[in-house]
Structure 1
Amino acid sequence: MEIKIADINDKIKWNSYVKENKGSFFHLWEWGKFLNEYFGYKMFYLMAKEGEKTVGVLPLLEKPRSKTLISLPLADFAGIIADNLKVHSEILNYIQNNYTKKDFFIYSKEELKNVPNGIYQTNIYANFEMEINGNAEEMLIKVIPQKTRNMINKSNRADLTIKVADDLKLWEKYYRLYYANMLHLKSLPLPFTFFRELQNLWKDKVKLFLVLKEKIPVSGLVGLIFEDKFYIWGNASDKKFSNLGANNRVYFEAIKFACENDLRIVNLGNTKPQTSHFFFKKNWGAKEKNIYVISNKKNLNTESKSQKYIMSLFQFLPRFVLEILSKLIYKYY
């Protein structure tokens, strides 16, 4: 078995393997290439081969000067896809043996049953997936629990308008919601140009749903489409309108979209257990799954302390200044 760093010539084979082996949107070559071109992250996309046959892949990215490999930044999960446990182990061994001076963090839906020496594993996040079975009304009645169903029905009486974004003006409205949410959480917002480039690159594979109350954006959701799955990648809302069920409404619009477009799975994304977001997602009747962090570091807290500290200093800066700084901070920290 040979394990190599894939290059652009391997892109078609890489994506084919991802599609044939139930990989995610984030496993696609294009996601890493997008982050490479936007932030300058270096791609270490490992491909396991037996002769001409691809038997496993692991996408890894490294921020400039960080000496840390991540699978993957700005993704809920990625991790190793392999034909069998032997290939999975060989890829991990390759990282341990060839990147001895680097730390690595792999976010995976798959738990390591036999954790090798020098490797640590924990489940920090929960992920929720909903299987689509029927039309939106059937999902509302048969799958979605009563509490959430009540909020959806309440939102239907609240005179809310739903928009599916097809121009940058609506993306700008969503970004204002997102930006305010991130400041409230004391988290670093991505620049608006990141969202613009994301939409430009994938177009029909990126969907933005926006809920408005009298032309005021009150909730929004960014979804990514891959094969028969819809990934809820971003969500923002105005807390002043939470009593109207605006956030419930935008999630239900995503589910309705999946039903109408023959998608089989809606992934509601990651969240930390026992938080308000955790219980919000749990109340959709979706299946809860652990997301495992696999690393050569004992401390598996993957939050960027540097970003948190910088944000505490810079959060009161004008938006245009913070957006410029944000790209640099995401690039290096």
Structure 2
Amino acid sequence: MIKLLEPAQAERWDNYVMAAADGSFFHLAAWQQVIKRAFGHPTYYYYFEQDGQITGVLPLTHVKSLLFGNSLVSNAFCVYGGILASDDQSFKALQSQAQQLARDLGVDCLEMRNRHQAHPEWPHKELYVTFRKELDTDVEKNLNAIPRKQRAMVRAGIKAGLVSVIDDNVDRLYTAYSESVRNLGTPVFSKNYFRILKEVFGKSCEVLSVEHEGRLIASVMSFYFKDEVLPYYGGGVDAARDLKGNDFMYWEVMRRAVEKGCKVFDYGRSKIGTGSYRFKKHWGFEPEPLFYEIDLVAAKQIPEINPLNPKYQLFIAAWKKLPLPVSQWLGPWLAKDLG
């Protein structure tokens, strides 16, 4: 039987996600609260139950925008998602429910953000990859495993006197992140979104900032899930480039994660051929294809809502020139629909 998630069932849902081999941080029930509070989008968190046991879950978010289209996504604002199921019956039931909902809502498409192909009959975006690597229990072995040129960048940051600090709020994260994404020509999320993430996920959400002589250089928000660490939102101020602030920052996340007992470093999603793609490869990570599989509903082809689309180039160029306070004010109005 398919049911919609109620707050009283969130713990059961999360227990299922934690036990599932392909369960990810982005399948957790708390994302429903985060998305509703931060962006106001409708969510549909379905689970399949047999004999009183959950045997499948599917988080869905409906993002409808005049500028960026109308989609039902698992999961919006997340790099992974899709159906988790213990058996074929549960999988097919949840897929059928999602397809029916997509048609009832009249969306352009239904998107499943899978790490592994799950819907071979659907087209998928050959655009994104993820970077994941197992960590050694020895901190120095992890440092030595970084390719020589990238390791030299990390050591340069150490030599420059950079230090990492764990922040108890998102203020410095937002300063560094908003400047970084403005420089890339991308609208920034609201500061409230980051506050909500920190509040809702608690100890599983950590902000690490890098300082040089007391000045902020870079900052990153990381998620902890099972035995994995996922640095998710990060950026640096102008001085980060010369001081190798980002290189040092990600090393510090890795070092601290090893000390916490983490076994996997998930560097997250990148578009093929971009700067972040090359940066992660320089760390010795190998790209793994992501299967963002699309069930076309009203759309005739996969929507191209991404910065590589030529029609967005003039907007991106103009956005890069905005004063930072203006981008922080305008950005959230656009970013809330870029899920």
Quick check: 1:307–1:329 contact (8 Å CA) kept in 2? no
Tell me what 1:158 maps to: 160
Tell me what 1:278 maps to: 277
TM-score by length of 2: 0.86
- Work out which of the residue numbers 123, 144, 147 in structure 1 matches 2:146: 144
Quick check: 1:188–1:308 contact (8 Å CA) kept in 2? no
**What amino acid does structure 2 have at the position aligned with 1:93?**
S
Tell me what 1:12 maps to: 11
Inter-partner Cα distance in structure 1 for 2:38 and 2:240: 34
Inter-partner Cα distance in structure 2 for 1:189 and 1:223: 17
Quick check: 2:180–2:235 contact (8 Å CA) kept in 1? yes
- The alpha-carbon deviation at position 157 of structure 1 amounts to 1.0
- Work out which of the residue numbers 121, 125, 130 in structure 1 matches 2:133: 130
Inter-partner Cα distance in structure 1 for 2:322 and 2:45: 37
CA distance 1:309–1:87, shift in 2 (3 Å)? farther
- The alpha-carbon deviation at position 31 of structure 1 amounts to 1.4
**What amino acid does structure 1 have at the position aligned with 2:153?**
M
Tell me what 1:71 maps to: 74
Tell me what 1:35 maps to: 35
CA distance 1:11–1:211, shift in 2 (3 Å)? same
Partner of 1:45, secondary structure, is: strand
Which 10-residue stretch deviates more, 312-321 or 68-77? 312-321
After TM superposition, list the pairs within 5 Å mapping 1:66-215 onto structure 2.
Answer: 67-100=70-103, 101-102=106-107, 103-112=109-118, 115-116=120-121, 119-141=122-144, 143-166=145-168, 168=169, 171-215=170-214
> How far does the alpha carbon of each residue in 1:128-183 deviate from its partner, in whole angstroms, 9 at most, with x for none?
11212222112112x322222111112111121221112x4xx3233222111121
Partner of 2:126, secondary structure, is: strand
**What amino acid does structure 1 have at the position aligned with 2:38?**
Y
Tell me what 1:234 maps to: 233
Quick check: 1:187–1:308 contact (8 Å CA) kept in 2? no
Quick check: 2:38–2:192 contact (8 Å CA) kept in 1? no
Which 10-residue stretch deviates more, 23-32 or 316-325? 316-325
- The alpha-carbon deviation at position 321 of structure 1 amounts to 5.9
Partner of 2:198, secondary structure, is: helix
TM-score by length of 1: 0.87
Sequence identity (%): 21
Quick check: 1:44–1:61 contact (8 Å CA) kept in 2? yes
After TM superposition, list the pairs within 5 Å mapping 1:253-264 onto structure 2.
Answer: 253-264=252-263
Inter-partner Cα distance in structure 2 for 1:19 and 1:189: 31
CA distance 1:242–1:322, shift in 2 (3 Å)? closer
Inter-partner Cα distance in structure 2 for 1:148 and 1:313: 32
Inter-partner Cα distance in structure 1 for 2:328 and 2:236: 20
- The alpha-carbon deviation at position 127 of structure 1 amounts to 0.6
**What amino acid does structure 1 have at the position aligned with 2:287?**
E
Quick check: 2:188–2:335 contact (8 Å CA) kept in 1? no
Inter-partner Cα distance in structure 1 for 2:128 and 2:204: 26
Quick check: 2:219–2:236 contact (8 Å CA) kept in 1? yes
- Structure 1 unaligned blocks of 5 or more: none
CA distance 1:331–1:158, shift in 2 (3 Å)? closer
Inter-partner Cα distance in structure 1 for 2:323 and 2:215: 22
Partner of 2:130, secondary structure, is: strand
CA RMSD for the aligned pairs?
A: 2.7
> How far does the alpha carbon of each residue in 1:235-254 deviate from its partner, in whole angstroms, 9 at most, with x for none?
10235442432211111101
- The alpha-carbon deviation at position 324 of structure 1 amounts to 5.0
**What amino acid does structure 1 have at the position aligned with 2:40?**
G
Partner of 1:217, secondary structure, is: strand
Inter-partner Cα distance in structure 2 for 1:307 and 1:5: 37
Inter-partner Cα distance in structure 1 for 2:250 and 2:323: 31
Matched, 1:60 2:60: yes
CA distance 1:30–1:37, shift in 2 (3 Å)? same
Quick check: 2:219–2:249 contact (8 Å CA) kept in 1? yes
Inter-partner Cα distance in structure 2 for 1:157 and 1:67: 49
